[in-house]
Structure 1
Amino acid sequence: MTIRPRTASLALALPLALIVSACGGGAPDTSQIVLQQGQELSSTAGPGDDQADVTADPTDSGDSTAEAAEGVVTSFSDAKPAVVQIMAQGTLRDPEVGLTTTVGSGSGFLISPDGLAVTNNHVVTGASTLEVFIGGDTSEKHTATVLGASECSDLALIQVDVDEPGAYLAWADEPPEPGLDVYAAGFPLGDPEYTLTKGIVSKAQANGDVTGSSSIDHTIEHDATIQPGNSGGPLITLDGEVLAVNYAGGALQEGASKQFWAIAASLAEPMVAELAEGDAESLGINGRPIFDDKLALSGIWVSGVKPGSPASAAGLLPGDIVLSLNAIPMATDGTYRDYCDVLRTSGDNAMTVEVLRWDTAEVLRGEINGSQGLEPILSLAEEAGGDVPQGDAPGDGGMPVPTYYDYVTVTDDTGSLSIDVPTEWNDVQTDPMYAPEGLAFIGASDDMQAFRDGWTHPGLVFYLRPYQGDEWDTLHYYTYEDVCAAQETGEFSDVMYSGVYQIWSQCEGTDGLVINLVLSNNDQTYTAVMTTYVATEADLEAFDRAFASFTVYNN
């Protein structure tokens, strides 16, 4: 029996714009918080009248020569020759418009006389080329190479090609305190003219996950105005030392909070030292969290993949959605938190990954930093799809059957098991008393009693048992040979599970199918049993969705 690739349910054919625009069901609202990332190079407009005052050097224009300086900066007023503008160009996969060539700008700052510079990861990640201008001097263009980047800390260390030693900034030793005077230096809005804005520290330890696109322990909140293009620029003290690295701000609009956030030096300095040896807390993905409550879908959208990175070696492509790492679902809260927790725990060790390949509607499993590449998982909908009605007419008993379903994630009462089921299957049982050994159990149908009685109502039961040994032996206990006329059997295995399945047809003279599936995790700590009655192709898709989405938690 040929096993075809597992394809996503029909519900996943909905426009992806619905996914990236939805933030319901517990995902945080970050609509008023924006990454201060690159601005299109054609945009050189300065700040509007409703924005905070910006102080620029009145003697210099965008094409002037930067001040000649060398050595460590000791005053905020002398920081200009140590601050850089970064022009990044690359091709990324946008979830709404497809492949796009991005040309944008950000800021950064030199931390050594030989051209080492710090910026944000989101300024340089995915870029094919980097051009750097030092201190607003547009007459001399410098190339740059990314030495290391961290997706989770949103920091990057780059090497700027310089001809001679220059000015640089030192990290601040003093702890941030509310009320401390600070200055935000950089090149906002793609403008080559250096700007410096003044403010104070509002909070010394503010929330770290203000954008959802990183996982930072805490940030410094301040009111020195920053805008798109300020990303990666320094927040400096009166003595010209780097108190933090700017990376996000509140939307500058009427009634919006004019507060801004920066990555504290106490977090940035040790991470930058680590980045000198290469990437850290990173798989080489330029991505963003997505969350859609209606489709019961969350994950990390892959906009781009860094060549030679662990993600590239594993076979991830732009347009993929990372659904889980090490069996932990991604972005269920609309942030990078779970993604970064797994990366920080796993380090360079192999980790399992589950991916939805949007272009082909396949779900793939494999390893990152391991030996097993991405492979499609089993699809029984493909195997048996021609054997059941399409579902555009009422089923037995006059019940209307939808041609496709919306989905909801159900978790059992022990918190050990979750699975996606159709919203129409709203008669749900999650009490472990229904499982043979009292472990995790989920049952779902539009009518569970009718489902148990048989042959009129679709539904499923999925439960855990202690490891049972050979799955074929276990499958023999789940037979329908006395009421069904035909069967097909097969086996499967992937990086996470191995098991067997059995498809029964012509049960009690109906057109429906009974599907039994027995699988064990590769660590052989548990066996899972799933039994489904499907009346239409929509129910087959529901079976595949349940099989692809189930998650067992190590509680």
Structure 2
Amino acid sequence: MAADSDATSPERAAEDEPHLTRRRALQSLGVAAAGGVGVLQGAGGARAQERPAWLAARDAVVRIEAIGTYDFPAFGDFEAASGGSGFIIDPSGIAVTANHVVTGAATLEVFVGEDRSESHNAQFVGASECSDLAVINISGSDFPTVSFADQPVNAGAQVYAHGFPINSDRLSTTNGIISRTDVPGETNWASVDSVLEHTARINFGSSGGPLVNNAGRVVGTNYAAFSEFEQNLAIGSDLAQPIVSTLREGQNQEYIGINGVAIETPTPMTPDGITRAIHVISVQTGSAAFNAGIRAGDRILRIENTRAVRPAEEDPLVTKEFYCDVLRTQGSTNPITVQVLRQVPGQTGGGLLLEGVVNGQPLQVVQVLPSQGGTYEGFTTVSDDTGVIGVEIPTAWDDVQSTPSGIGPSVFAAPDVNEYLNTWDVPGTNVLVTDQAGTDPEAVLDSLAFASCGSSSRSAFSNPSLSGRQERFEQCGPEGGATVVNFAGLPPDESYMVIGNVQLVAERDEEALRRILQSVSVSGFTGTQTTPSGTPSQSTPTETVAGTPTQGGGETTTTETASAIAASVEANRGLFSW
């Protein structure tokens, strides 16, 4: 997976936001004596130099580079190189890694141990989607190996995590202890009864790497970390070893051929209100899912005629537990009915509803769901609490909040102002008036650029009381489905400036934008000398606005005020600048 990173929810060791600092590889830990001395078999069975067994295990750790096309819920469809870790368990090249590292990859390139000069091709052998384990076969022979521990590890045991965190090409080792052996393993990408919690720090890119004891035996396979809780998780060898034994024979387990995560959307995906699904990140060519017609970007809504992810009223957590329970019950090779939603990239509503049978009848379109288009049923005029600003909005935008911005009166309107401020999925608007922004709309728009949009264009706008400029940003947000328009306008006497933002997520929002630009007006504005500061926010922060006149006198520049405008909204969602 690209940058081996997934996000919101538990931090996969191979799927999370990248950290800015790297853990340095531990070179010499003063606990070697506790584990005795170990010997690994190298090429031709030659004895390697005697080293602590936990340190010698590094020779069998591999770095996996995968190239493929992936569709992430937060980033959309793209071709990328991803990375992960693994470990060799047979001299012929049989290695263990994580399912999400290899499933759906077009190519697999493997580097063994600390050798960064020679790479090996690898073939996919088998995987368990729900246990997030996979087996690959590395081309070559006489590789160094590690073995699974004979007994489950106990709490308090010393352990070492080997791998390639942050997709570094340098092998890293961290040490710690086993904290717990019975942590629930239900996440949005895997479903394991229980996992190990340990204190040996791991990071994205560590997925699939071994957790070894002092004797150099594998007691766990690293797969997740909760960075905010400094919690690192691994699948215990007592659970992993029997699964790996099956996978290395080419028999998949709890697997239809996808790399998928459970997701929840802010608005229903279907007319019957489904907001949770399994989002397909990648599909293994030739797998049962591939043959059924499932593709990256699809969302599995139902499996065996039941919702694939339990609704919020049944389970507050968004996990793959039920989906995986169905796979365990039905078996990976038996017919399994699925219902899938397919949308074009960036689409936020509607799409094709398909139904079919994995290991049976391929998917067929059964319904075309309408997009969030149409028209609003009505419009109404709202104002801020001072009555200065007036603007026409859809009646459906019934969450109206009026608070001073720190540089003038302001009004927010949306179906849900919090969602409008904090996501790309809900339409809404914010309009403010100020006498501290100068008289150049272009300069104001320059300061209100969006970094999370694909393209932008500027044009003039005018209505009976204002004239100015607007800037339209397309393909905004992680999935590129939102459009954002910033505008700045002046009255004929240029005594103040009206600055606004409109977020569009559906076709009908174009009419809302048109009405807002045509109707926005100001009445009775007397200046901002006594305007208190603050912006709508759950924490209602108090803003100190840079560039306002002080007792020492001096004029406020347009650049300073534009920066103040951005700062005043940044306390919420960063309305004008992410």
Indicate whether the TM-score tops 0.5.
yes
> Are positions 1:226 and 2:198 aligned together?
no
SS of 1:271 mapped into structure 2:
helix
- Give the deviation of 1:45 after TM superposition: 7.5
- Give the deviation of 1:358 after TM superposition: 1.7
Question: Which one of 157, 162, 170 corresponds to residue 180 of structure 1?
Answer: 157
Q: How many residues align?
A: 347
1:13-51 deviation line (CA, Å, top 9, x unaligned)? xxxxxxxx9xxxxxxxx84631111799xx998626xxx
In 2, distance between residues paired with 1:71 and 1:193?
A: 25
Structure 1 stretches lacking a partner, 5+ long: 1-20, 22-29, 59-65, 383-388, 395-401, 407-422, 424-537, 539-555
- Give the deviation of 1:292 after TM superposition: 2.7
Question: Which one of 266, 284, 292 corresponds to residue 257 of structure 2?
Answer: 284
- Give the deviation of 1:305 after TM superposition: 1.7
Question: Which one of 77, 89, 92 corresponds to residue 99 of structure 1?
Answer: 77
Alignment correspondent of 1:193: 170
Alignment correspondent of 1:376: 365
Aligned residues of 1:142 and 1:160 also touching (Cα < 8 A):
yes
Question: Which one of 323, 328, 351 corresponds to residue 361 of structure 1?
Answer: 351
Aligned residues of 2:69 and 2:80 also touching (Cα < 8 A):
yes
Alignment correspondent of 1:126: 104
In 2, distance between residues paired with 1:350 and 1:36?
A: 33
SS of 1:168 mapped into structure 2:
coil
Q: Map of 1:341-352 to 2, 5 A cutoff?
A: 341-347=325-331, 348-352=333-337
Aligned residues of 1:56 and 1:193 also touching (Cα < 8 A):
no
SS of 1:216 mapped into structure 2:
strand
Letter in 2 for 1:373: P
- Give the deviation of 1:186 after TM superposition: 1.2
Alignment correspondent of 2:323: 339
Question: Which one of 72, 77, 95 corresponds to residue 117 of structure 1?
Answer: 95
Question: Which one of 218, 242, 248 corresponds to residue 270 of structure 1?
Answer: 242
Going from structure 1 to structure 2, the CA distance change for 1:321 and 1:403 (only over 3 Å counts) comes to farther
Structure 2 stretches lacking a partner, 5+ long: 1-5, 30-39, 311-316, 345-349, 380-393, 399-414, 416-507, 509-578
In 2, distance between residues paired with 1:72 and 1:336?
A: 45
Aligned residues of 2:9 and 2:188 also touching (Cα < 8 A):
no
- Give the deviation of 1:77 after TM superposition: 1.9
In 2, distance between residues paired with 1:124 and 1:271?
A: 17
Going from structure 1 to structure 2, the CA distance change for 1:380 and 1:114 (only over 3 Å counts) comes to closer
Letter in 1 for 2:231: Q
In 2, distance between residues paired with 1:45 and 1:68?
A: 36
SS of 1:267 mapped into structure 2:
helix
Aligned residues of 2:64 and 2:84 also touching (Cα < 8 A):
yes
In 1, distance between residues paired with 2:19 and 2:59?
A: 21
SS of 2:280 mapped into structure 1:
strand
In 2, distance between residues paired with 1:146 and 1:274?
A: 14
- Give the deviation of 1:99 after TM superposition: 1.9
- Give the deviation of 1:381 after TM superposition: 8.6
Alignment correspondent of 1:150: 128
Going from structure 1 to structure 2, the CA distance change for 1:83 and 1:403 (only over 3 Å counts) comes to same
Going from structure 1 to structure 2, the CA distance change for 1:404 and 1:269 (only over 3 Å counts) comes to farther
Aligned residues of 1:109 and 1:234 also touching (Cα < 8 A):
yes
> Are positions 1:258 and 2:247 aligned together?
no
1:217-262 deviation line (CA, Å, top 9, x unaligned)? 11000000111111101000100000000000122xxxx3212000
Structure number with greater CO (CA < 8 Å, separation at least 6) is 1
Aligned residues of 1:390 and 1:403 also touching (Cα < 8 A):
no
SS of 2:105 mapped into structure 1:
coil
Q: Map of 1:502-517 to 2, 5 A cutoff?
A: none
Going from structure 1 to structure 2, the CA distance change for 1:97 and 1:380 (only over 3 Å counts) comes to closer
Letter in 1 for 2:328: R
> How much is the aligned-residue C-alpha RMSD, in angstroms?
3.4
- Give the deviation of 1:375 after TM superposition: 2.1
Q: Map of 1:438-457 to 2, 5 A cutoff?
A: none
Going from structure 1 to structure 2, the CA distance change for 1:393 and 1:46 (only over 3 Å counts) comes to closer
In 2, distance between residues paired with 1:229 and 1:127?
A: 16
Letter in 1 for 2:255: S
